[in-house]
Amino acid sequence: MSLSTTDLGFVHRFVPGTDKSRAPLLMLHGTGGDENDLLPLGARLSPGAALLSPRGQVLEQGMPRFFRRLAEGVFDEADLKARAADLARFIAAAREAYGLAAPIAVGFSNGANIAAALLLLHREALAGAVLLRAMAPLAEPPVSREKGVPVLVLSGLMDPIVPADNAGRLVRALEGAGHSVTQEILPAGHNLSQADLTLSAEWLEHFRQ
């Protein structure tokens, strides 16, 4: 497995794929995680897929995040938009450096939120996304008639961080941007359950070539 590198603008890890039938995965950690955090999850969800895992560049009380927030559930949208653009540039550079097809994002919490922002603002960056416990990232999301990409949104019925109405607003925003969204509301909180792993792995099977 590759070591962490600061190349391409983000501290990240890249794990080459061993199964060419599987799309590469962009693993996006939650608050306090890093580039190592979700690699075991990626290997479990899609064995043999190439894994690209960057570290968020914002620190909140020493914990890495992908963008700033003003309070719990209140995002700094100017920073979010700038960080999403930076991440889109990183993805493009990594695709060229490592010879990758457009990846499928697998994001948890803060990582899922930046993935949602990519889907709304830089749709060309991703081939699809699994959003685990995501919130609506933008107060006024863009609308598009262009055909988007498949998106799986897995929400927790008892999630104390993501209210149900916010998760619903996320789904409507993604659909308004032209993406094909499947949402499942699981009997879970903010942490992931076995059902999340099973549903995500089954959904990713549809991308097999």
Which residues are catalytically annotated?
A: 109, 159, 190
3-class DSSP assignment, residue 82: helix
CA angle 99, 102, 106 (to 5 degrees): 115
DSSP-derived letter for residue 44 is H
Contact 24, 52 (CB under 8 A): yes
Kindly tell me the sign of the dihedral angle through the C-alpha atoms of 35, 40, 44, 46.
positive
Q: Residue 22: what are its φ and ψ, rounded to 5°?
A: -105, 135
Residue 28: in which H helix or E strand, if any? strand 25-28
Question: What does R_g of the chain's alpha carbons equal in angstroms?
Answer: 15
3-class DSSP assignment, residue 35: coil
> Considering only CA atoms, which of 136, 142, 144 is closest in space to residue 116?
136
Q: How far is CA 76 from the centre of its chain?
A: 18
| CA distances to 9, 46, 81, 92 from 96, in Å | 14, 22, 23, 6
